[in-house]
Every structure is written in C-alpha cells, then in structure tokens.
Amino acid sequence: MRKDREKDKINLSFAQMRGDKLSQLLRTLGEHLDRKEATVFHISWAADSVSVDYQMPGGVSERKDFTIERLHKLALHSRFRRSHRNALISPR
C-alpha cells in the first residue's frame, strides 16, 4: 500500500501542482540559472519533471533534472531567501 502512495506522488504532473503557477516555476528556474551564472540554457518540460541544460562562464556545461517535488522545494527555499534578504535590506 505504501508503494502505491509513493507511486501516486511520482505520477503527479506540473498541471496538478497546487499553489504554483507556471510563472513561479519559471522564476525558480531563472533564479537557479542566475546563481549558476548560466550564459546559455535550454529547458525541457515533461509531465513529471523539468530538465535544464546550461553553460556557465568558461564553457562548463551542466544538466539539472528537477522532479515536481524538488522544484517545489526549491521555489519555497527561493521565496524564503528573498524574504530574508528583503528583511535585511529594508529600513526599520
């Protein structure tokens, strides 16, 4: 029974994610690419994952595959970093 529940989680699609719009997912990927200082990139969408191929300064190429769950966690982490950074910058 537990394996069935885990399999159901894996079979979710990006369209079924609650609370995350395409724009947020793209923003999250963009922040990842900015942190990596990507100069060239290619994003491939599948029903249950996103793959990002990118090139960094110096010609180093990398590929990152995100599951829905991983991309969602990255989005939450990015929001936390932005809110923390804004709290440090804003006057009191």
Mean per-residue pLDDT over the chain, rounded? 76
Higher-scoring residue by pLDDT: 14, 29 = 29
C-alpha–C-alpha distance, residues 53 and 48, integer Å: 17
Structure letter (DSSP) for residue 84: H
C-alpha–C-alpha distance, residues 19 and 29, integer Å: 16
**Count of residues in the chain:** 92
Its domain, for residue 55, covers 2-89
Say what percent of the chain tops pLDDT 90.
Answer: 30
C-alpha–C-alpha distance, residues 92 and 82, integer Å: 17
- Number of domains composing the chain: 1
- Nearest one of 77, 52, 74, 78 to 65, comparing CA atoms: 52
C-alpha–C-alpha distance, residues 89 and 92, integer Å: 9
Strand pairing class (40-45; 61-67)? unpaired
Least confident of 15-19, 28-32, 46-50: 15-19
C-alpha–C-alpha distance, residues 38 and 44, integer Å: 16
How confident is the model at residue 62, as a pLDDT? 96
Predicted confidence band of residue 86 (pLDDT cuts 50, 70, 90): low
